[in-house]
Amino acid sequence: MTTESGIDRSRLRTLAERERATFAERNPGSRQAYARADNLFGRVPMTWMNKTAAGFPVYLRTARGNRITDVDGNEYIDFCLGDTGAMAGHSPAPVVAAVNRRLGELGGASTMMPTEDAAVAGAELARRFGLPAWSFALTATDANRWAIRLLRAVTGRSKILVNSYCYHGSVDESLIVVGPDGRGQSREGNVGAPVDVTMTSRVAEFNDLAGLERELAHGDVAAVLMEPALTNIGIVLPEDGYLKGVRELTRRYGTYLINDETHTFSAGPGGATAFWDLRPDVVTIGKAIGGGVPVGAYGLSEDLVGALSARNDLDLVDMGGVGGTLAGNPVSMAATRATLEEVLTEAAFGAMIETASTFADGISKIIEGYGLPWSVSRLGARVEYRFVSPAPRNGTESAANADAELEDFLHVYLANRGVLLTPFHNMALMCPETSAADVARHHEIFDKALSELV
């Protein structure tokens, strides 16, 4: 039977079984390492590492640029790049040098003292994103958590609004989706929620200004926390006028606007904020700005800084809920400065985006050649192919059109031939080292996979 994805399911299952068997044969070392990891919960350092299409994860040996070698000696072209964390490439030389200098020459990984690197990194983020005051965390999740606490404090409002199927890390307030009745409900699989998420949050579909206004009209939303384009449910791009409309509505209803640029940083040196000339009150970001070293950051508008500074009842120094002993540590700050100044530069983004455009054009031609009802979306240096056409316009549509069986087959097929995609979806990210030859190799394998499927 051929489904809406245009694929014969019985053929797909036969090929998927073959590819999983090949994966097991290619990766005995990884399989054995996984079997021995009895003292790790789920046998992995973090449970999301069990998101693998082949039954067990590949174990890392080396990583440089956009190349990974596993413990069995297999080499991969890496289009996953740490799900954006390694957008700068793995272990970029300037970052390695900066971290080695801090740890080996200057010393001090955890001192609770500021460094000049932090001020330089803050100034560069201010230049790129247009917000004057920056503070640092270790993850974008923490940056989001701290930003929404600040905005609750200055507004006196209790709720945060997010888009259905957004991704903001493990922020409790973000684990809400639009249910079948059009109302907010807890996202399926939400682990140990402290309270019913509808008590802390409101939700609207991406690209739905009427739905957003309906929720803001309650008058209890401190901030809209959003990605300028949805990313973790597959790329969902904003329609014409949508982002401008969001900014107009948030201002009309006295609500702050947070742009989470952790993934949309792929749009360019100043992320989607600069690319689409947005004017948020807060920008949060993480992963890529540290060149692989853990870091997160949030930038505040001048007006917001003034509102916070005028509040002598807020403990912003000690136990007020905004903290982290290792946040802003010397190693993270050295890595961030090096990444922004020397690796993810305007020139680097220009090349990465050109490569991504080539990737997207080539994938589109292959899909069209097989007459498949699929689509391709691109956000700067980030490309996603979807098993539906036209591309979904919101998160709920995107989730409804997921095809885990087909996605897993393609991921294993590519991995068996030396290409890695992000395990959570069909995302391919370009880094400064990604070449046209790397793109051509992906397309060659992708084309062969479809020729066997169709």
Q: Please, which pLDDT band fits residue 1 given cuts at 50, 70 and 90?
A: very low
From the list 112, 219, 222, the residue with the least C-alpha distance to 162 is: 222
Q: How far apart are CA 33 and CA 76, in angstroms?
A: 19
Q: How far apart are CA 300 and CA 280, in angstroms?
A: 9
- The DSSP call for residue 27 is -
Task: Please write the tens of the pLDDT for every residue from 142-184.
Answer: 999 999 999 999 999 999 999 999 999 999 999 999 999 999 9
Dig out the tokens for 223 from the structure.
Answer: 């901030």
Q: How far apart are CA 198 and CA 55, in angstroms?
A: 35
Dig out the tokens for 181 from the structure.
Answer: 């009745």
Q: Are the C-beta atoms of 284 and 169 separated by less than 8 Å?
A: no
What's the gap between Cα 362 and its chain centre?
A: 23
Q: Give pLDDT, residue 318.
A: 84
Confidence check: pLDDT of 2 > 50: no
List, as one string, the DSSP characters of 264-310: GGGGSTTHHHHHTT---SEEEEEGGGGTTS--EEEEE-HHHHHHHHT
Q: Which residue has the tokens 């050109």?
A: 354
Q: Are the C-beta atoms of 409 and 426 separated by less than 8 Å?
A: no
Q: Are the C-beta atoms of 92 and 436 separated by less than 8 Å?
A: no
Please tell me whether the peptide bond between 390 and the residue prior to it is cis, using omega within 30 degrees of 0: yes
From the list 404, 431, 336, 453, the residue with the least C-alpha distance to 78 is: 431
Dig out the tokens for 198 from the structure.
Answer: 């509808």
Task: Please write the tens of the pLDDT for every residue from 63-90.
Answer: 999 999 999 999 999 999 999 999 999 9
Dig out the tokens for 416 from the structure.
Answer: 């068996």
Dig out the tokens for 20 from the structure.
Answer: 């999983």
Q: How far apart are CA 132 and CA 216, in angstroms?
A: 27
Dig out the tokens for 141 from the structure.
Answer: 């999740």
Confidence check: pLDDT of 282 > 90: yes
What's the gap between Cα 112 and its chain centre?
A: 28
From the list 99, 174, 77, 108, the residue with the least C-alpha distance to 436 is: 77
Q: Average pLDDT of 231-237?
A: 96
Q: Average pLDDT of 375-395?
A: 97
From the number of C-beta atoms within 10 Å of its C-beta (0-12, 13-18, 19+), residue 94 rates as middle
Dig out the tokens for 23 from the structure.
Answer: 């994966």
Confidence check: pLDDT of 352 > 50: yes
